[in-house]
Amino acid sequence: MKIFGISLAVLATLSFPCALHAQELGSETDEQLREVIEHQIETYTDLLDLEYWQVFYVDSIMTHDYTALTAELQELSDSKVTNTEAYERVQDKWAEQMYNAYREVFNDQQWQKYLKAGAARDKKARDKREARRQ
């Protein structure tokens, strides 16, 4: 299973509806976000055999970063930004933030599994987009 690919799918699922339908944000979106985070944590726990303290940190990282991502996308939407690259840049910023935070939590064996599950490919794609922007 491609874990990081799922993370990006989650980002896309959470961010584009938020950006396109800003007026619909509220407790329903918060509940959906929580469900997505819980599902993602279960996936990571199964694939990477996370310890209880790692689950706590991964949950904290996801909760903070997905909430911040959603808020930042909401700001863009409220500002009537239509440039898709601006939304992509925000998504890449928070995906990179999570990638770096996970490195601090996972041990070397877990990190290698995480990279093989798709994180390395996604990191390369983010780096390529960043190079293209400059």
- Tell me the range of 1-15, 17-31, 54-68 where mean pLDDT is highest: 54-68
Q: What is the pLDDT of residue 12?
A: 46
Q: What is the pLDDT of residue 24?
A: 52
- Residues 31-42, mean pLDDT to the nearest whole number: 93
Task: Find out whether 103 and 78 touch, Cβ atoms under 8 Å.
Answer: no
pLDDT of 3 over the 60 cut? no
Residue type at 86 in one-letter notation: A
Position 133 confidence tier, pLDDT thresholds 50, 70, 90: confident
Per-chain mean pLDDT for the chain: 85
What's this model's pTM, rounded to 2 decimal places? 0.77
3-state SS, residue 2: coil
pLDDT of 39 over the 80 cut? yes
**What distance in Å separates the CA atoms of residue 12 and residue 91, rounded to the nearest whole number?**
8
Give residue 96's Cα distance to chain centre.
8
Handedness of CA 43, 111, 53, 99 (dihedral sign): negative
Domain housing 92:
3-133
Task: Find out whether 54 and 13 touch, Cβ atoms under 8 Å.
Answer: no
- Report percent pLDDT > 90 for the chain: 72
Other beta carbons within 10 Å of 84: 10
The count of structural domains within the chain is 1
Q: What is the pLDDT of residue 28?
A: 76
pLDDT tens-digit readout, 78-98: 999 889 999 999 999 999 999
Residue type at 62 in one-letter notation: M
Give residue 108's Cα distance to chain centre.
21
